[in-house]
Amino acid sequence: MQPGASFWACAPFEQWHAVSAASKKFTEGNSRRPVFDSPGISGPNGRSTRMSDVKKWGSEEFWGLGFEWDPQWLLTPAQKDLQGKLIALCEATLRANAVESDAQYIYPRKNFEALASLGLLSLTVPKELGGLGENHVCAAMVVETIARYGCPSTAMCYTMHLGAVAAALLRHHENPILIDILKRLDKDVLIGTLSYSDPETGSHFWYPISSKAEAHGEGWKVTKKASWTTSGGFADWYIIQTTSPGFAGDYSDLSCFLVTKDEVKANPSEWDGLGLRGNQSGPIAVENAILPKEALVGPIGDGAKSNDEVVDPFFLTCSSACWNGISLAVIDIAKRHTTRKTHNDVGMRVADYPTIQDYVGEAIMDTNACRAFVFQMAQALDSVTNNCDWSIHKDLDALPRSTLLHWLWQVKFEASKNVAHVTDKMLHACGGTGYRPALQIERYLRDGKAGWVMGPTNEVLRQFVGKASLLGFGALDYWNKSINERVLNNEIKKMSEAEKRAFAEKLLADVAPAKVA
């Protein structure tokens, strides 16, 4: 199917909405990478990872950190092969497009078309549906690779795409529309995204006050307002979260719907951010859209479960991989610059100064600690899901990933904190040259700043972990249901007799209508 053709190409659904689907080389010499002749470390399927494997950048050896600084033993042979092809694609296409996206605020659809050529839009889609059938470890590796060697904006848009695909896969088993989309992701370059935020609740995206859904004939009437939606106005399909049909005031009663580009109102190309300028993240609206019954993703009221089971786990894992990729990218650039730049008065390269070695050494260690955390949790997600086996979710109560959510909060916090520190230090290491756009560190620095503030923000995550560890998970009170009696009683103690009487009269007035009813 060519861009501009019918979105619902499958005959039973072609009546539902038409939607558009719509090199620079960096080579270096004098790379001083140690060669280890050890037999290597055994990876998945028993294949060893030799430390002497050469990382290529076009026809040359890569000018940044070599494979000896990457946890290659975590990858299967197929995943290593995919990684190599993706690095080559970044060198040939994605990286040059990243410069264009940043300078002109261009959405990276060209990069998605390139990713589709490797089958990456259906990376986690089961092979029986035409996908690569890959796992969480591979998803983290792919996002990190795109951010490091290619384009961070593309990596973040791709993260949201994987999250939308995961939400669809969770409940696709008896939904022909979802199955149809999942089969056509690469062929038709169908970019998905998530829209969960709300203009009235900010980064508390699990609280969609401005959204609603109701039954309408055999389908649904849906309204959604979102303050931030990555790929907003550019994605071909969206998984959105609203309050459920029949909503009675309980904001934990959430449902998810599939909408297409036709149902979404946005202001594409008006995004004006500090970094990640290709993201085109901004407000969208779905206004009383009439949707078929199959647009409901999962049963009514499934929204909170799907959020904890797939949306958050994939977002937190893959966005953290994106921040790690940015950290690695600036380390790579700093290595290239400091090993080439010479101070002729003393006959030393910048890399020969102990201070620079300290900067780079600490950056590598901190970043690899964050990478190890990401991949450890990706392995844990693989372990509890039979290596990302989507068939386990035919049982609607199978929610194994949700048991690891509090660990994934920590992953996102650490990776997004680290990227801010590492990009600053690598800018310092490169001196005034790093301040100029030509070296590209300043672009990665701006891109990395998004990590801390992207919801759930690091302030929210820090409080989540602290409160849950001290008071129990029930104390998190996502939907503002629990009464803090300690605070309430303390405030009442401060009241005068007259204030207590007035407060009591107000409470009685509030409950009186209920008694009459």
Where residue 97 sits, what CATH number does that domain have? 1.10.540.10
What is the rounded CA–CA span in Å between residue 243 and residue 257?
A: 11
Predicted pLDDT of residue 41? 52
184 lies in the same domain as 270: no
The three-state (H, E, C) secondary structure of 356-371, written as one string: HHHHHHHHHHHHHHHH
Residue 416 lies in a domain: yes
Q: Residue 134 CA to chain centroid, in angstroms?
A: 17
Predicted model pTM: 0.89
CA distance 436 to 427: 10
- Shared domain for 241 and 340, answered yes or no, is no
Interior angle at CA 154, CA 153 and CA 156, nearest 5: 65
On whether residue 161 sits in a domain, the answer given is yes
Q: Are 416 and 465 in the same domain? A: yes
Same-domain status, 160 and 236: no
**Closest C-alpha to 180, from 27, 312, 17, 323:** 17
287 and 419 share a domain?
no
Q: Are residues 160 and 217 in the same domain?
A: no
> Does residue 36 form part of some domain?
no
In a domain, 12, yes or no: no
pLDDT the model gives residue 26 = 32
Q: For residue 98, what are the domain limits?
A: 19-28+43-191
Of 191, 218, 245, the residue that ends a domain is: 191
**Which of 141, 163, 191 finishes a domain?**
191
60's tokens: 């040359």
CATH number assigned to the domain comprising residue 239: 2.40.110.10
Q: What is the DSSP string of 8-44?
A: --SGGGTTS------------S--------S--EE-G
Is residue 138 one of the residues assigned to a domain? yes
Block means of pLDDT (10 residues each) for the chain, length 517 residues?
40 37 35 40 54 87 98 98 99 96 94 99 99 99 99 98 99 98 99 90 72 95 93 97 92 96 89 87 93 98 96 98 99 98 96 98 99 99 99 98 98 98 98 93 96 93 97 89 91 96 93 60
How far apart CA 202 and CA 307 sit, in angstroms, is 17
Task: Provide the number of structural domains found in the chain.
Answer: 4
Q: For Cα atoms 197, 201, 205, give the angle at the middle one, nearest 5 degrees.
A: 35
CB neighbour burial string for 29-56, b if at least 16 within 10 angstroms, e if fewer: eebebeeeeeebeebeeebebbbebebe
Q: Are residues 102 and 225 in the same domain?
A: no
CA-closest candidate to residue 231, choices 22, 88, 417, 89: 22
DSSP 219-274: EEEEEEEEEEETTTTT-SEEEEEEEPTT--S-TT-EEEEEEEGGG-EE-TT----S
In a domain, 88, yes or no: yes
Residue type, 245: P
Question: Are residues 198 and 239 located together in one domain of the fold?
Answer: yes
In a domain, 128, yes or no: yes
Contact yes or no for 230/281 (Cβ under 8 A): yes
Residue 372, C-beta contacts closer than 8 angstroms, at least 6 positions apart: 71
Check which CATH number belongs to the domain holding 375 and give it: 1.20.140.10
Task: Give residue 333's region: left, alpha or beta (phi > 0; psi -120 to 50).
Answer: alpha
Where is 343: in which H helix or E strand?
strand 342-343
Q: Is residue 8 assigned to a domain?
A: no
Boundary residue ending a domain (164, 191, 218): 191
Q: Name residue, tokens 């990302």.
A: 388
How far are the Cα atoms of 40, 87, 100, 276, 443 from residue 106, in angstroms, in the given order? 43, 22, 7, 10, 15
273 and 324 share one domain? no
Q: Do 371 and 274 have their domain in common?
A: no
Nearest to 136 by CA among 335, 465, 380, 472: 380
How far apart CA 130 and CA 186 sit, in angstroms, is 9
**Same-domain pairing of 80 and 223:** no
Q: Per-residue DSSP letters for 177-209?
A: HHHHHHHTTTTTT--EEEE--BTTTBT-TT--T
- Same domain for 229 and 163, yes or no, is no
